[in-house]
């Protein structure tokens, strides 16, 4: 047992050195750390058995023996056997070697700069806080706000591409009734179709068609500005179920049905407001 060369913070230095030392496997680092935890700072005793190290780390004894041999070969420990049935060995940490490794590491930390990357390899990211990173490495993306950054009314989608013969939908000049930004948006996928599924539980084909049409409508709504949050807040169960039935008859018509319903709601609201002012 020896405390030769031991200084106050050497155990902490040794643990760090095991992490940055070249050529050590994960098992080597774990075994080395376990050995250092058995070092008695007062007496210098450090003699955990192979069986104890294996049990503590949850690995087999052969792996522990290979790790201790590698640690000694790297000059991090010296080992001498006690003999006997316990197969204990005394480990003498080489504190000067640990300090040398950390000194070299600190020197490299000060001198080595981060490698420069070519401009074309960098994703051109704005300072906008809406989206924090590209979806895939190297992808150049446009960042967007989570919520609408202005008070303009939402834009109704152009359904002419998906529904064929439908006319282009104009953008409303005034906010739709119930679509103000103060309205809390509903979840992305409200289970409006629960009753419809219960009514058609005996028809697996009808159920599959209903769910497919529902998914297409919700996906189209999520492609709207602000992921269609205001539209989701306005929708009610009857409108959604009617739109799904329309979508089942003709692909892409469900979103057009919702747009028409929203437009009609807006007209009704203006009519009610005009009547209230007249009286």
Does residue 198 sit within a domain? yes
Q: Give the pLDDT score at 221.
A: 86
Taking residues 101-109, report their average pLDDT: 91
Q: Give the pLDDT score at 114.
A: 65
Does residue 223 sit within a domain? yes
In terms of pLDDT, which residue wins out, 236 or 148? 236
Q: Tell me the pLDDT band of 101, cut-offs 50, 70 and 90.
A: very high
Q: Give the pLDDT score at 254.
A: 87
Q: Give the pLDDT score at 187.
A: 47
Q: At what angle do helices 253-278 and 237-249 cross, to 10 degrees?
A: 140
Global pTM value: 0.42
Do 183 and 268 lie in a common domain? yes
Do 165 and 97 lie in a common domain? no
Do 103 and 171 lie in a common domain? no
Q: Give the pLDDT score at 195.
A: 58
Q: Give the pLDDT score at 202.
A: 54
d(CA 147, CA 266): 23
In terms of pLDDT, which residue wins out, 160 or 42? 42
Residue 104 has pLDDT above 60, yes or no: yes
Q: Give the pLDDT score at 234.
A: 79
Q: Give the pLDDT score at 135.
A: 55
Do 185 and 264 lie in a common domain? yes
Does residue 227 sit within a domain? yes
Reduce the DSSP state of residue 71 to 3 states and report it: helix
Q: Give the pLDDT score at 184.
A: 46
Residue 15 has pLDDT above 70, yes or no: yes
Residue 55 has pLDDT above 50, yes or no: yes
Q: Give the pLDDT score at 8.
A: 80
Does residue 4 sit within a domain? no
The domain in which residue 181 lies consists of 160-278
DSSP label at 131? Answer: -
Distance of CA 5 to the CA centre of its chain: 47
Structure tokens, 117: 């990357």
Do 168 and 271 lie in a common domain? yes
Q: At what angle do helices 204-222 and 237-249 cross, to 10 degrees?
A: 110
Segment 132-155, tens digit of pLDDT: 555 565 555 555 544 544 444 545
Do 166 and 269 lie in a common domain? yes
Q: Give the pLDDT score at 200.
A: 52
Kindly state the percentage of the chain with pLDDT values over 90.
Answer: 28
Does residue 33 sit within a domain? yes
Residue 124 has pLDDT above 90, yes or no: no
Does residue 132 sit within a domain? no
Q: Give the pLDDT score at 209.
A: 82
Q: How many structural domains is the chain composed of?
A: 2
In terms of pLDDT, which residue wins out, 89 or 29? 29
Q: Any long-range contacts for 17-24 (C-beta under 8 Å, 24+ apart)?
A: 17/76, 17/97, 17/98, 17/99, 17/101, 17/102, 17/105, 18/76, 20/101, 20/102, 20/105, 21/74, 21/76, 21/101, 23/74, 24/70, 24/71, 24/74
């Amino acid at each position: 047992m020896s405390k030769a060369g031991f200084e106050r913070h050497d155990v902490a230095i040794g643990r760090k050195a095991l992490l940055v030392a070249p050529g050590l496997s994960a098992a080597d680092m774990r075994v080395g750390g376990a050995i250092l935890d058995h070092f008695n700072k007062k007496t210098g005793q450090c003699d955990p058995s192979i069986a104890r190290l294996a049990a503590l780390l949850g690995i087999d004894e052969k792996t522990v023996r290979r790790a201790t041999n590698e640690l000694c070969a790297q000059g991090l420990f010296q080992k001498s056997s006690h003999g006997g049935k316990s197969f204990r060995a005394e480990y003498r940490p080489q504190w000067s070697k640990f300090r040398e490794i950390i000194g070299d590491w600190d020197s490299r930390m000060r001198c080595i700069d981060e490698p420069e990357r070519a401009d074309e390899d960098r994703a051109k990211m704005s300072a906008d806080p809406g989206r924090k990173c590209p979806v895939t490495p190297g992808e150049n993306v446009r960042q967007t706000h989570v919520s609408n950054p202005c008070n303009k009314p939402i834009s109704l989608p152009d359904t002419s591409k998906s529904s064929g013969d439908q006319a282009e939908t104009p953008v409303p000049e005034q906010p739709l009734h119930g679509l103000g930004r103060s309205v809390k948006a509903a979840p992305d996928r409200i289970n409006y179709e629960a009753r419809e599924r219960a009514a058609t539980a005996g028809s697996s084909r009808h159920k599959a068609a209903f769910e497919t049409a529902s998914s297409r409508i919700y996906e189209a709504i999520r492609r709207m500005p602000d992921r269609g949050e205001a539209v989701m807040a306005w929708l009610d169960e009857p409108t959604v179920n009617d739109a799904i039935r329309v979508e089942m008859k003709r692909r892409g018509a469900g979103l057009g049905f919702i747009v028409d319903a929203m437009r009609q709601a807006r007209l009704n609201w203006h009519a009610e407001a005009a009547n209230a002012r007249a009286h």
